[in-house]
Structure 1
Amino acid sequence: MWDSMIEDVKKAMFKHEGISNVEMSTFHQVVHAILIDRWTKSSTPLHCLAHSLNPRYYSTEWPREDPNRIPPHQDTELTDKREKCFRRVFPNADE
């Protein structure tokens, strides 16, 4: 989802600046760094757990709205971070 959003931002910026996708844009580099920093801050195990537990993402309509959407239970990154969060909350497997 974030990858496609970042690409959409890049396309819009390059179109507005009137340059091709292979050229360099200082403005795009700054915006890209900000977006990546923001993603890194929100991509924590707890955030991924909250995202994966949101019922909205398990509806049948949500994935159909965008073919690039992956339900949380099929997203490997979310699954890994969800499991990491559970391991932090429940460090003892007997609990």
Structure 2
Amino acid sequence: MAALNAEQAGPGSVGVVVGVTVTDPPDLSSLGGPVLVPGLGAQGGKPEDLRGLGGAPGSLLLPAVSREVLRAGPDATALRAQVSRLRDSVAYLLD
């Protein structure tokens, strides 16, 4: 996968899925593509668990938080507030 991504300018389009609660994640430092990261919130993962996940750059991590968002519903205002909280909790990944 890393070889496929290396052929592209910028981040590649070939990615992987690695749960944030995996105790020994694979080395993702040379992947060069997106990493979908399920497991935040409802499944027990915390935003700080994303830091350094498999050595992947934070800008390539895509935290999946749908269950955690839906727990705040069905009120639309509460859903928006939850999305804002979750966004703010992982903003450090872009630093």
TM-score bucket of the superposed structures, by smaller chain: under 0.3
User: Which of the pair is proportionally richer in helix?
Assistant: 1
For the pair shown, which has the larger CA radius of gyration, 1 or 2? 1
TM-score, with structure 1 as normaliser: 0.27
Give 1 or 2: higher strand fraction.
2
